[in-house]
Chains A and B, each alone.
Chain A
Amino acid sequence: MAKPPTGHVVNQIRLLRFMASEMTQAELGDRIGLTRQTVAAIEAGKYSPTLEAAFRIAQVFGKPLDEVFQWEG
């Protein structure tokens, strides 16, 4: 069986929130249908969102997906 690649997803959500007039985690959560705690978990790298949620986050900031989330191997 093939070994899964080691690595993890990193994101720029904290920076993007700062650049979006210090948008709060709760505000971002409200706009994408997630709780504040889930946004905090994503931001801290403790939870990898579904592809749909990742696209919604990128859409809120008007950025392509790969500017918000990156794979760090």
Chain B
Amino acid sequence: MLETQPNALTEETVRAIVREEVQRAFKKDPARKKACIISSKGTLDWAYPPLILATASAATGMDVSVFFTFYGLNVIHKDFERLLKVTPVGNPAMPMPVPMPDILTSLPGMTSMATGMMKSKFSKKHVASIRELLDVAVESEVKLIACQMTMDVFGYTQDDFIDGVEFGGAAAFLSEARKSHLTLFI
């Protein structure tokens, strides 16, 4: 005949043990330490978010991959300083020195003026430049991957990109992304 033992495991203790083990397993989950970001935009303003998040993720000890596709290729192009611009056209959120009707924002020279304004404002406020962020990314071993398909469409060769860039396609990105809890499309 079975007797209840005084020190038998109660349901609560079993639950507590299971909870603890699950938490421990979660902590060891390698996907917590991986971030995959898609950078799809080729303007100066939109070059910032993927690089800021990639370098910050690397600073928290994560393995980071950034996949540059379509216009995002501008960000890692050797000539990124010239290619990355910002335009007030169609962007009512952009602060202008004087209020300006939409039609004027498309005048010749407005894009270079807006780009110059943004660069000087950012440097005055001590925001890191795109070059600095790229340097940090490379130094902290962020993987920079250029989308081969859009490179071919735009007529780029591997030599057009900064040192350290790798090349791949959608499957290469997905293979990394499925092992990452953190995935962002920018």
Q: Do A and B come from one complex?
A: no
Chain B residues in the interface with A (C-beta under 8 A): none
Chain A residues in the interface with B (C-beta under 8 A): none
